[in-house]
């Protein structure tokens, strides 16, 4: 791919400047690529109805063509243009959770290029709440196809600097609207089945969904066996990953701390071990000589979500030989945290 100059423009996250939105919309309309903040993570956007522009997203991200892309819309009215059939449950869910971090899988209309859906029969649609994302879709006058704006299988970006690090020279514009608020991606929900199936944990939690969908199906990943470090999960699943090998440690708080200490002691040089911890772990690891990142308190998992990818990238940049990450309780947004860490991990250790 030929290098191009990537422009960065600052934009207000609360009241995006019209002139900046217009410039970005112009690039989208002419088939270019614009990275922009959403409430979850930064997205890499192109005109969703322009097949060539959509293919350029795959090239820029080095994303394999078999991985479909989410279409972002400004309102529920756009659904009828993108899907052949919109079941009543879609309207109910949209009413409750849009604009916001919920992506719905629907049967795809012919207007949507096959590249978006990786040649499959469905399309993923989400209506973001971030004023910059909404302003951009409206100014461009078209739905915007956008995966997370990272290099394929890397940690998702929560700042414009992260996008620059991964995609500088490969895209036209980055809109810098500061840090994203939720910090993990949207929840993906397949409503083409008789019972809705949760495909990815995210900003809208299982607790929130089951209040509306009592028959929600949640496929379970294969459980890890206690005391047997194993490759986690399948190679193909490795995603959200830093360059440094990462081991995820699951257990009670006490078990996690004990297990972390054992693993640190087992390394030749403890200075080479980076730790990704919660505030509650601070006293237990006060003397640790290697890099340490605290993502937030266990009692405030929303904060942990907001900081997780930032902390992971920061730790990775310090180039430890190994990152040891503590796991989080599987409740609320904790399920998304567990899922992302499990996919980022080379090994999952259940103590």
Q: State the residues that interact with ligand TXA by CB under 6 A.
A: 38, 40-41, 43, 67-70, 101, 103, 105, 117, 120, 122-124, 126, 146-148, 185-186, 188, 199-200
Nearer residue to ligand TXA within complex by CB, 43 or 113: 43
Nearer residue to Mg ion within complex by CB, 38 or 148: 148
Q: Which two tokens stand for residue 115?
A: 């590249």
Distances (CA, A) of 24 to 111, 159, 164, 172: 23, 18, 16, 9
CB of 164 to Mg ion, least distance (A): 17
Among 45-53, 148-156, 197-205, 249-257, the segment contacting Mg ion (CB under 5 A): 148-156
Nearer residue to ligand TXA within complex by CB, 40 or 205: 40
C-alpha–C-alpha distance, residues 230 and 224, integer Å: 8
C-alpha–C-alpha distance, residues 22 and 31, integer Å: 14
Judged by CB under 5 A, which of 38, 40, 142, 148 binds Mg ion? 148
State the binding partner of 348 from Mg ion, ligand TXA, none, CB within 5 to 8 A by kind.
Answer: none
Distances (CA, A) of 141 to 73, 77, 219: 10, 13, 37
Residue 158 makes contact with Mg ion by CB under 5 A: no
Within 8 A by CB and 6+ apart from 326, the residues are 249, 256, 260, 276, 277, 278, 281
Nearer residue to Mg ion within complex by CB, 44 or 49: 44
State the binding partner of 276 from Mg ion, ligand TXA, none, CB within 5 to 8 A by kind.
Answer: none
Q: Which helix (H) or strand (E) holds 71?
A: strand 70-72
Nearer residue to ligand TXA within complex by CB, 58 or 328: 58
CB of 183 to ligand TXA, least distance (A): 10
C-alpha–C-alpha distance, residues 141 and 143, integer Å: 7
Nearer residue to Mg ion within complex by CB, 155 or 306: 155
Within 8 A by CB and 6+ apart from 315, the residues are 242, 244, 274, 276, 291, 293, 323
Q: What is the dihedral of CA 93, 338, 226, 282, to 10 degrees?
A: -140
State the binding partner of 24 from Mg ion, ligand TXA, none, CB within 5 to 8 A by kind.
Answer: none
Half-sphere exposure of 53 (CA within 13 A, CB side): 22
CB of 180 to Mg ion, least distance (A): 13
State the binding partner of 264 from ligand TXA, Mg ion, none, CB within 5 to 8 A by kind.
Answer: none
| Helices and strands in the chain: count of H runs, count of E runs | 10, 16
Q: Is residue 150 exposed (0-12), middle (13-18) or buried (19+ Cβ within 10 Å)?
A: buried
CB of 310 to Mg ion, least distance (A): 16
How many residues contact Mg ion, by CB under 5 A? 1
CB of 199 to ligand TXA, least distance (A): 6
Nearer residue to ligand TXA within complex by CB, 139 or 191: 191
Interface contacts to Mg ion, rule CB under 5 A: 148
């Amino acid at each position: 791919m030929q290098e191009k100059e990537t422009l960065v423009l600052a934009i207000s996250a609360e009241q995006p400047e019209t002139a900046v939105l217009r410039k970005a919309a112009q690039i989208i309309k002419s088939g270019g690529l614009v990275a922009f903040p959403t409430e979850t993570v930064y997205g890499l956007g192109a005109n969703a109805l322009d097949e060539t522009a959509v293919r350029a997203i795959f090239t820029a991200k080095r994303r394999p063509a078999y991985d479909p892309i989410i279409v972002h819309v400004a309102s529920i009215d756009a659904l009828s243009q993108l899907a052949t059939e919109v079941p009543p449950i879609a309207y109910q869910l949209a009413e409750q959770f849009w604009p916001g971090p919920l992506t719905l899988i629907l049967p795809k209309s012919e207007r949507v290029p096959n590249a978006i859906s990786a040649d499959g029969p469905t399309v993923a649609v989400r209506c973001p709440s971030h004023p910059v994302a909404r302003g951009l879709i409206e100014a461009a006058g078209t739905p915007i196809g956008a995966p997370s704006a990272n290099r394929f299988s890397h940690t998702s970006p929560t700042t414009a600097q992260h996008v620059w690090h991964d995609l500088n020279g490969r895209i036209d514009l980055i809109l810098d609207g500061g840090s994203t608020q939720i910090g993990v991606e949207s929840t993906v929900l397949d409503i083409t089945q008789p019972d809705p199936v949760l495909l990815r944990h995210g900003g809208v939690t299982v607790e929130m969904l089951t209040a509306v969908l009592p028959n929600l199906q949640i496929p379970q990943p294969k459980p890890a066996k206690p005391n047997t470090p194993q490759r986690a999960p399948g190679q193909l699943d490795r995603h959200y990953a830093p360059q440094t090998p990462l081991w995820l440690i699951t257990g009670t708080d006490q078990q996690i701390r004990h297990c972390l200490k054992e693993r640190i002691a087992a390394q030749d040089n403890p200075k080479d071990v980076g730790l990704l911890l919660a505030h509650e772990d601070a006293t237990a690891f006060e003397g640790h000589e290697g890099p340490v990142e605290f993502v937030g308190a266990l009692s405030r998992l929303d904060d942990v979500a907001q900081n997780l990818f930032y902390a992971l990238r920061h730790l990775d940049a310090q180039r430890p030989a190994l990152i040891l990450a503590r796991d989080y309780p599987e409740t609320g947004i904790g399920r998304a945290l567990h899922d992302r860490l499990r996919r980022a991990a080379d090994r999952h250790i259940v103590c």
